[in-house]
Amino acid sequence: MASMPLNLVPLVGPFHRRFPRYNAITVREITSACAPELVATTALPPGALAEAAWRDADEPALIEAIHWAVRVGVPVEPVGEPSPDPSAMRDTERYLRESTGAHPALQAIDGAAEPVVQLLRSALDLSRVQTELAPAVAKLHAARIHWFGDGPGSDWLEARARRMAERLRPLAQRRTVVLVPVDQLPALEPHLEGLQGQLPDVPPSDAARRRALLDTALSGDADDTAALLAALRDLGEPEARLAEAEVLLGHGHAAEALEVLAEAARGDFVEPPYLPGWLLARLGQLYDLAGRRDEAKRCYRGVLALSWAPPATREAARDGLERPFTVPAA
């Protein structure tokens, strides 16, 4: 049977929330436009989807694309090879900084990392991720390999990529989309030469624009608060109510935020998956600020009763049960 292209879709982790033209919905729509028979990902190891904890990673686009695949009946196959020690690369660099100061390896790696940092501060789209960010990440990876080899200082990425490629190559018998963290691409792509397909050009959609609006509100980075609140109020989904409450709370309007979230909690707020935990945790905190401790505790217990909630919301709920929430000092 002839091989079909593997469509590699780069993931940029939490930075999808900062890229309005390459957010979680954009990735989902690119994945859908490829009409895949299978969605694979190197971001998760085999078997990861059997446990709800796979959602704990701060990968909004990965979660969105996998949920789309499950919803429409496209099989999902994790093929990742996890690091044997996720902290080893940071520990290697920290050791050098503490023991030698201006080591030539650190100077080379810092120099290669700077373009990556600068790119991640801008608003990238798929084209710029492919033509600017991915090459910059490749240079950073090459610097690590040059100085540290394929070991702790480079997160054993070369060896891990070979194993991931071995799992991916047989999948080219079907139309397959592969969701790949951008930092894995430099090591993975050489092993898939001749198998990579061209990603479709997907124009911005209304859904992607709504996602960008919500991401802006939840990040707290908006310049025009009044316009942002007005736009959020035009959206009907419960996530917009959470975003509205976050903006209000961020500007000192806790009572108004409580009113918005209490109303949202009386409706259906099961989607997206992170929403129940975040909404209930924040609602509990707002009840605490209003001096309504019993209602706050009910919300915190509600978070801990969920089958899955983001780790930060579970931590907030546990803290909230121990002591009433107060706004951190500026």
pLDDT value at position 220? 79
Last residue of a domain, one of 145, 174, 203: 203
160 & 87 share domain: yes
Instruction: Write down the pLDDT at residue 330.
Output: 59
Structural domain tally of the chain? 2
Does 19 share its domain with 152?
yes
Amino acid letter for position 192: L
Q: Does position 329 have pLDDT exceeding 80, yes or no?
A: no
Confidence of residue 62 (pLDDT cuts 50, 70, 90): very high
Residue 327 lies in a domain: no
Hey, what amino acid is at 282?
A: R
Q: Which of 171, 203, 235 is the last residue of a domain?
A: 203
CATH number at residue 226: 1.25.40.10
In 10 A of CB 212, how many CB atoms? 22
Question: Percentage of residues in the chain with pLDDT exceeding 70?
Answer: 98
Same structural domain, 31 and 172: yes
| Of 306, 277, 279, 42, nearest in space to 157 by CA | 42
Domain that holds residue 300: 220-322
Query: Do 190 and 224 lie in a common domain?
Result: no
- How far is the C-alpha of 138 from the C-alpha of 156, rounded, in Å? 15
Residue 71 lies in a domain: yes
b/e sequence 22-59, b meaning 16+ C-beta within 10 Å: bbbbbbbbbbbebebebbbbbbbeeebeeeeebbebeb
Query: Are 239 and 107 in a shared domain?
Result: no
Please choose, from the candidates 113, 118, 59, 56, the residue with its C-alpha nearest in 3D space to the C-alpha of residue 90: 113
Write down the pTM of the prediction. 0.93
With contact defined as beta carbons under 8 Å apart, do 238 and 275 qualify? yes
Residue 1 pLDDT greater than 60, yes or no: no
Q: Is 328 inside a domain boundary? A: no
Q: How far does the chain reach from its first CA to its final CA, in angstroms? A: 63
Same domain? 243 vs 131: no
Domain boundary among 176, 203, 230: 203
Question: 4 with 106, same domain?
Answer: yes
Q: Dig out the tokens for 264 from the structure.
A: 């949202």
Look at residue 330 and tell me if it is in a domain: no
Could you give the C-alpha distances from 199 to 32, 290, 329, in angstroms and in order?
Answer: 11, 50, 47
Domain shared by 274 and 169, yes or no: no
The answer on 281 and 174 residing in a single domain is: no
Average pLDDT over residues 16-40: 97
What b-and-e string marks burial along 286-297, b requiring 16 or more CB atoms within 10 Å of the CB? bbbbeebeebbb
Residue carrying the six token digits 């093929």: 79
- Clarify whether residues 1 and 136 are in a common domain: yes
**Lowest-confidence segment of 49-53, 94-98, 140-144, 261-265 by average pLDDT:** 94-98
Which residue spans within 17-85 are E strands per DSSP? 38-41, 76-78
| pLDDT tens readout for residues 137-188 | 999 999 999 999 999 999 999 999 999 999 999 999 999 999 999 999 999 9
Is 209 within a domain? Answer: no
